[in-house]
A and B are shown apart, each in its own frame.
Chain A
Amino acid sequence: GAVVSQHPSRVICKSGTSVKIECRSLDFQATTMFWYRQFPKQSLMLMATSNEGSKATYEQGVEKDKFLINHASLTLSTLTVTSAHPEDSSFYICSARDLSVLSTDTQYFGPGTRLTVL
């Protein structure tokens, strides 16, 4: 099956610093990747849709200048949390669509990155 990796799996940083999270599709090409955030005991909330070679589409209420998304290649998307604050502490999960499987449009999830801002 399709594999999506994320790095780092866990990060602890001081308030005010920026954190970059990488999402890679390992065995397929993903023209579209998605970034989700999940707070404890809550469901996944879509933050933005990342398209290779173009600007990301952000969901309502998500600050695009704070959460910078870059999708530079068909296998890599990055999310940078700029000037992180404690309220940004959350579980960030990326997913990617494997469009090579013509009969389905399944999204596969990375293992997630747990961000803790002190």
Chain B
Amino acid sequence: QKEVEQNSGPLSVPEGAIASLNCTYSDRGSQSFFWYRQYSGKSPELIMSIYSNGDKEDGRFTAQLNKASQYVSLLIRDSQPSDSATYLCAVRLSSASKIIFGSGTRLSIRP
């Protein structure tokens, strides 16, 4: 079992709709969770971090964490073509300082 799992996509969403990205993790003791966006040929940029169960909102983005289910998600409201990118879920393992990345979900926003 991979430590961080994501659906590779591509996920195609019409412009203006809500894009929902999902991620599961295997280390039950993990405490820190991150969503990064990566455009082709560029390095990842942080979108959101979340540490507690529940929702965390920042503009059009909402991160959701459910530690009991070992599940973290990212919602993007009012999707824009500029949101088309690969979204990486990352988890900091409880036993170490390193962050483990999922394989990423390719999101495509169609006009």
A109 to B34, CA, bound (A): 13
B1 within 8 A of A: no
Cβ distance A89 to chain B, nearest Cβ, rounded Å: 14
Number of interface residues of A (CB under 8 A): 20
Beta-carbon contact of B49 and A46 below 8 Å: no
The residue on B at minimum CB distance from A51 is B97
Contact of A111 with B43 at beta-carbon distance under 8 Å, contacts A34-B98, A49-B97, A105-B32 already known: yes
A102 to B49, CA, bound (A): 14
Beta-carbon contact of A109 and B43 below 8 Å: yes
Q: Hey, which chain A residues are within 8 Å of B88, CB to CB?
A: 43-44
Known: A49-B97, A112-B42. 13 other contacts (CB 8 A): A43-B101, A43-B103, A43-B104, A46-B98, A46-B99, A46-B100, A104-B49, A106-B34, A109-B36, A109-B43, A109-B45, A110-B43, A111-B42
Sampled A-B contacts (25; CB under 8 Å): A32-B97, A34-B98, A42-B103, A43-B88, A43-B101, A43-B103, A43-B104, A44-B88, A46-B98, A46-B99, A49-B98, A91-B41, A91-B43, A93-B44, A97-B97, A105-B92, A107-B99, A108-B46, A109-B36, A109-B44, A109-B45, A110-B43, A112-B42, A112-B43, A114-B41
